[in-house]
Amino acid sequence: MWEYAPAPESRDIANLKPTYRMFVDGQFVEGSGEPLKTVNPGTEEVLAEVSTAAPADVDKAVKAARRAYDRVWGKMPGSERAKYIFRIARLIQERSRELAVLESLDNGKPIKESRDVDVPTAAAHFFYHAGWADKLGYAGLGPDPRPLGVAGQVIPWNFPLLMAAWKIAPALATGNTVVIKPAETTPLSALVLAEIIQQADLPPGVVNILAGAGDVGAALVSHPDVDKVAFTGSTEVGKIIQRQLAGTGRRLSLELGGKAANIVFDDAPLDQAVEGIVNGIFFNQGHVCCAGSRLLVQESVADELLEKLHARVSTLRVGDPLDKNTDVGAINSREQLTKIQELVETGDAEGAQRWTSACPLPDKGFYFAPTVFSNVSQAMRIAREEIFGPVLSVLTFRTPDEAVAKANNTPYGLSAGIWTEKGSRILWAAQKMRAGVVWANTFNRFDPTAPFGGYQESGFGREGGRTGLEAYLDV
């Protein structure tokens, strides 16, 4: 077999600095929290020290956002706001290589994904929303829909730059100002986005970017002068926030976890389905809220599909996130790696059959080999809980009704996939599936024009598309 020669992207492109500061009221400032060290999960090396917020800094940022809203941004015509948002989009494109390498260093995702998915999709979100800024009266939300005010936003570590774009772009387009907190393990790309925002000459205070851990997020979402909270993260924290905001009249949207069913019917083109299954669960190490983590296969094709799947997964290259040949990078943190290991052990203990790719793993860094569990039953923890790692649970079904019943047997409801040759079956199953996004003969396709969001414990509110504007408008 041919071996690939290593093809690493140079880490110099990331322009790493030894220290990073927070962005408040148009300036880079020292926070009064304890500085944090962000780590490269691919090597366990410290990348940089980042200054973090204390509650008083959160208050300063919210005040800056309020001033910017009252004096400038809330009154600015949409056609003017659009120019700034376009500029941010263009600057993301200009600095795309730097952002991609930085994202792979801080998060552990393969460079081919940060380069081809995260960064271009982040730019696309700004472009798309720039286009809406002067057309809000035509969005079907009334002739002159008004912004809400100051948005407090908290995002997770799995798509650090992209989640920042999903949050900031619609808020700006609709005339809101922003205070956002990236995750503790991945603050760097958001702080480079702050440089871009400064380069774009956005008026001071319109976007403020804090750093820190969950306590900073908690101080932000519970700040009384925040009009709207947007949170992406775990269902557990989502529930805490919902309780805090109940009765305050402040608006909330939540994008939480998932346990998506990816259903393969017996008439599906199996080789194509295998590619979609692999993309569904091994993209971004499976750190994807809408990952296709429960594969439901029609019994008559299950053996053939599993054999093809094992053969394909065996070819996935796991290792250095900066290597352009890497398919599966590093797990984002030691904590997440431990969580994956523990859940996988419950799969063994509950009697599922574990298959693990024999791929070599680097000696240093946090890595987990792609894993497929078969003989999984619905009651097992690996079929019910979000693993958030490169681990697939395979269940089987006999009839389409059984497939849909099993797919919907989850407290979540973020996404689902259907693989079949029959268009009528796609429409039938999609209608019955309790999931915010249903992909047919594809998986994990993201586009700023398509609303994304969940049912049940996956949260509420939509991001993207015309519907996503509603989350930031007083309608």
Binding site for ligand NAP (CB under 6 A): 154-158, 181, 183-184, 213-214, 217-218, 221, 232-234, 237, 240-241, 255-258, 289, 386, 388, 414, 459
Comparing CB distances to Mg ion, the nearer of 26 and 33 is 33
Supply the angle between the helices 160-173 and 78-94 in degrees, to the nearest 10: 160
38 contacts Mg ion (rule: CB under 5 A): yes
Residue 285 CB, nearest approach to ligand NAP (Å): 12
Residue 65 CB, nearest approach to ligand NAP (Å): 17
Comparing CB distances to ligand NAP, the nearer of 84 and 157 is 157
Catalytic residue among 184, 255, 385, 386: 255
| β pairing state of 45-50 and 19-20 | parallel
Residue 20 CB, nearest approach to Mg ion (Å): 12
Comparing CB distances to Mg ion, the nearer of 37 and 243 is 37
CA distance 18 to 161: 20
Binding residues for Mg ion restricted to 167-196, rule: CB under 5 A: 185
Q: For this structure, is 255 an active site residue?
A: yes
333 contacts Mg ion (rule: CB under 5 A): no
237 binds, among Mg ion, ligand NAP, none (CB under 5 to 8 A by kind): ligand NAP
38 binds, among Mg ion, ligand NAP, none (CB under 5 to 8 A by kind): Mg ion
CB-based contact 285:328 (threshold 8 Å): yes
404 binds, among Mg ion, ligand NAP, none (CB under 5 to 8 A by kind): none
Residue 318 CB, nearest approach to ligand NAP (Å): 21
232 binds, among Mg ion, ligand NAP, none (CB under 5 to 8 A by kind): ligand NAP
Comparing CB distances to ligand NAP, the nearer of 273 and 328 is 328
CB-based contact 128:172 (threshold 8 Å): no
106 binds, among ligand NAP, Mg ion, none (CB under 5 to 8 A by kind): Mg ion
Residue 77 CB, nearest approach to Mg ion (Å): 40
CA distance 267 to 278: 19
Q: For this structure, is 359 an active site residue?
A: no
Give the total of residues touching Mg ion (CB under 5 A). 4
CA 43 and chain centroid, separation: 23
Residue 163 CB, nearest approach to ligand NAP (Å): 7
Comparing CB distances to Mg ion, the nearer of 103 and 457 is 103
**Nearest Cα to Cα of residue 443 among 418, 413, 468, 412:** 418
CB-based contact 326:320 (threshold 8 Å): yes
280 binds, among ligand NAP, Mg ion, none (CB under 5 to 8 A by kind): none
Beta bridge partners of 81: none
191 binds, among Mg ion, ligand NAP, none (CB under 5 to 8 A by kind): none
Q: Please, which residues have CB within 8 angstroms of residue 80's CB and are 6 or more apart in sequence?
A: none
Site string for Mg ion, 376-415 (x = CB under 5 A): ----------------------------------------
Catalytic residue among 289, 385, 386, 470: 289
Residue 107 CB, nearest approach to ligand NAP (Å): 12
150 binds, among Mg ion, ligand NAP, none (CB under 5 to 8 A by kind): none
Convert 434-463 to b/e letters by CB count within 10 Å (16 or more is b): bbbbbbbbebbebebeebbbbbbbbbbbbb
Judged by CB under 5 A, the stretch of 4-12, 36-44, 110-118, 307-315 that binds Mg ion is: 36-44
CA distance 445 to 442: 7
Task: Choose, by CB under 5 A, the member of 98, 106, 320, 323 that binds Mg ion.
Answer: 106
Comparing CB distances to ligand NAP, the nearer of 80 and 335 is 335
Comparing CB distances to ligand NAP, the nearer of 241 and 277 is 241
Comparing CB distances to ligand NAP, the nearer of 52 and 396 is 52
Residue 370 CB, nearest approach to ligand NAP (Å): 19
CB-based contact 369:361 (threshold 8 Å): yes
Chain residues that interact with Mg ion, rule: CB under 5 A? 38-39, 106, 185
Active site residues: 255, 289
